[in-house]
Amino acid sequence: MTAETFRGNFTQQEPIPEEGIEAAIAVLRHGRLHRYNTSKDEIAETALLEQEFAALVGAKYCLAVASGGYALGCALRALQVGHNEPVLTNAFTLAPVPGAIAACGARPVFVDVTADLTLDIKHLEVQARASGARLLMLSHMRGHVCDMDALMDMCVRLGITVIEDCAHTMGGAWGDVASGRHGAIGCYSTQTYKHINAGEGGFLVSDDAELMARAILLSGSYMLYSRHLAAPEPEVFARIRLDVPNVSGRMDNLRAAILRPQLKLLPQRVARWAELYRALEQGLADTPGLTLTLRSSQETFVGSSFQFLLNGWSAARVGLFVSRALARGVELKWFGAPDPVAFTSRYDHWQYADPTPLPQTDRILSGLIDMRVPLTFTPEDCALIARIIRQEVLIVGQGAEPATLSVPLIQ
Ligand SMILES: *Cc1c(COP(=O)(O)O)cnc(C)c1O
């Protein structure tokens, strides 16, 4: 019997819904793409999108911006982060997170990851006390959410303000609170690989009037903040409007038009991702050598990606496994590779942040395998992918130690 191969595309998203295409064409036809370029009595698509997103997550205020990374930087500036100020963040996250901290002239202080791929709350306390940081940029990396009740208790106790990076948790929740609604500010991305797709884009949400007024002024509102629908009252702006610099990073009406119909589809997408995730999880259960991550019963997660651990495997063995899976059409990313490949950079690659070694994180990331799960996949596709991974884990895990390290180049 010949080995099965998967022929799907791990980076192919679904098309934009017809309603979004129609709305985008309408914006192109009238030409008023800038969010403050409205005709008499017209409400901009961007302002409507903000109102709808605020309602979706149950926030008082929302601001749409140019990218998820911009949202993170804007949140830090709204909190008036100082030059060289320490900002706690996850050692396991994506490069734009420490990048946003560094771009503000602040200094990332990395916190360990646990075997469940969440922030290590005990290590957070250690790093918080050692650095004296007053800010935590908490990244729900790959949709894994730490115990938010325990985390928020600790942050209140230590006087730490939390910014949530919800790039992978839009549509998710902890208990009955939407992801992004525990901290002072929640940030989201609408980049193509996230849960709603405008190419680029992002949101900030908050219930704090002054923070949101600062964020709106920062984003480049040219004193036209009264055209927002999910913004604080003008009096809040009046107090600070001349004290906040313009760091332009607005969203435009074309992207907002594409996103509005997708917001309505989000609950449906979360349910479809859950089905794909379950197919992978079932297909990989009880595979010797492979460890699945535990999810808390409190967590409503979005299965837009899938992770597992090959604990204790040598780099050569993991490299061989990833190469063999790729030869059968299964594109996996490995967070333990010596050099960053595509999206898999690691805290110790971020040399500008002068990272201190974190042995626990190193051990976990050395065997961490990550996979995208686009909604163009079916549950049958996921079952096939799981069969291939399972077979290759058994073959490579039980075979002889490979002589050389082969690192497959996946884009
Ligand atoms: C994608 C991503 C971001 C940033 O989003 P962009 O819209 O690409 O700037 C931030 N954090 C994480 C964990 C991400 O994956």
Inter-residue contact 387 to 4 (CB < 8 Å): yes
CATH 3.90.1150.10 residue ranges in the chain? 266-398
Gap from CA of 188 to ligand 1 centroid (Å): 8
Q: What are the pocket residues of ligand 1 if the criterion is a CB atom closer than 6 Å to any ligand atom? A: 67-69, 93-94, 96-97, 139, 141, 165, 167-168, 189, 191, 202
Phi, psi of 299 (to 5 degrees): -95, 125
Question: What pLDDT score was predicted for residue 410?
Answer: 55
CA gap 259, 146 in Å, rounded: 28
Q: For a ligand 1 pocket test, name from 65, 93, 117, 194 the mutation site with the most ligand atoms within 8 angstroms of its C-beta.
A: 194
CA gap 329, 340 in Å, rounded: 21
Inter-residue contact 70 to 249 (CB < 8 Å): yes
Q: Tell me how far apart the terminal alpha carbons of the chain are, to the nearest angstrom.
A: 30
Which ligand 1 atom is at minimum distance from the Cα of 139? 13
Query: Which CATH topology does 266-398 take?
Result: Aspartate Aminotransferase, domain 1 (3.90.1150)
Q: For a ligand 1 pocket test, name from 189, 307, 370 the mutation site with the most ligand atoms within 8 angstroms of its C-beta.
A: 189
Which ligand 1 atom is at minimum distance from the Cα of 165? 11
Question: What pLDDT score was predicted for residue 342?
Answer: 65
Gap from CA of 141 to ligand 1 centroid (Å): 9
> The dihedral of CA 335, 338, 344, 347: what is its sign?
positive
Beta bridge partners of 238: none
Which whole number is the average pLDDT over 290-301? Answer: 95
The predicted-structure confidence for 64-88, as pLDDT tens digits, reads as follows: 999 999 999 999 999 999 999 999 9
The predicted-structure confidence for 244-287, as pLDDT tens digits, reads as follows: 999 999 999 999 999 999 999 999 999 999 999 999 999 999 99
CA gap 71, 77 in Å, rounded: 10
CA gap 196, 27 in Å, rounded: 19
The beta strand positions in 33-151, using DSSP E, are 61-65, 86-90, 107-111, 135-139
Question: What pLDDT score was predicted for residue 407?
Answer: 66
Residue 15, burial from CB neighbour count under 10 angstroms (0-12, 13-18, 19+): exposed
Q: Which residues of 39-75 are buried (b: 16+ CB within 10 A; e: fewer)?
A: eeeeebbbbbbbbbbbebbebebbbbbbbbbbbbbbb
Which whole number is the average pLDDT over 29-38? Answer: 98
Inter-residue contact 375 to 273 (CB < 8 Å): yes
Instruction: Using a cut of 0.85, tell me whether the model's pTM lies above it.
Output: yes
Residue 154 φ/ψ region, left for φ over 0, alpha for ψ in the -120 to 50 degree band, beta for the rest:
alpha
Domain covering 18-261 in this structure, CATH number: 3.40.640.10
**411 — pLDDT class (breaks 50, 70, 90):** very low
333 token code pair: 């990313």
**358 compared with 407, residue with greater pLDDT:** 358
CA gap 21, 16 in Å, rounded: 7
Phi, psi of 297 (to 5 degrees): -70, -15
CA gap 217, 240 in Å, rounded: 9
CATH 3.40.640.10 residue ranges in the chain? 18-261
Which whole number is the average pLDDT over 198-223? Answer: 97
Q: Whose CA is nearest to atom 1 of ligand 1?
A: 167
∠ Cα 63 67 69 (to 5°): 105
CA gap 371, 127 in Å, rounded: 30
Gap from CA of 25 to ligand 1 centroid (Å): 27
Question: What pLDDT score was predicted for residue 1?
Answer: 59
What count of other Cβ atoms lies within 10 Å of the Cβ of residue 17? 15
Which whole number is the average pLDDT over 149-159? Answer: 98
Inform me whether the pLDDT recorded for 217 exceeds 90. yes
